[in-house]
Amino acid sequence: MKFLKIVIFFIGLTTFAQSKVGAADIDYILSKMPEMETVRTQLETYASQLDIDLNKKIDEYKVLAEAYKKGEANLTPEEKKTKQTELLTLDADIQKFQQNGAKLMEIKRQEYLQPLYKKIGEALDKVAKAQGFTQVTQTNQDLIYLDPNYDLTIPILTELGITITADEEEGK
């Protein structure tokens, strides 16, 4: 049994020793892609459309509320209840629309970014294979230090045909 543990330990060591782990800053790569301007424009257009739709609902609510206030004295109790229910329903619809707005924007953002992530993934695959990396992680604010020899961000940008200045490279 002790022999089996030692063999497993050495197999683990050799497997680990053969690994080459790199990292890439996907957000930085995205920010340098020329297609991001189109994505920003599309998102702004979509957000504007959501705002227009929300404003229509708010205007409709205001019109109904104003009509209710003006005619409230002449309404029967049943008509008042019906109008109040309409207003409450429309108010709930507006609140639900506002809550869903952020979710809708995130869904649309992911939809627009998906082709860019695919391009990055293909470039990353080529670079990682060419440089012999077995694993690549994404850099984030938790990463304290990364040896520049293991940072694949610039080679991925190069693979994508994106050139950056030396100042931009240092600031990365």
pLDDT digit string (tens) for 104-153? Answer: 999 999 999 999 999 999 999 999 999 999 999 998 888 778 888 899 99
Tell me the C-alpha distance between 138 and 151, whole Å: 10
The reported pTM is 0.71
Domain ranges of the chain: 20-171
pLDDT at 141: 81
The low-confidence residues of the chain, meaning pLDDT below 50, are: 1-10, 12-14
What's the CATH number for 20-171? 3.30.910.20
pLDDT at 2: 46
- DSSP classification of residue 163: -
Tell me the C-alpha distance between 149 and 160, whole Å: 19
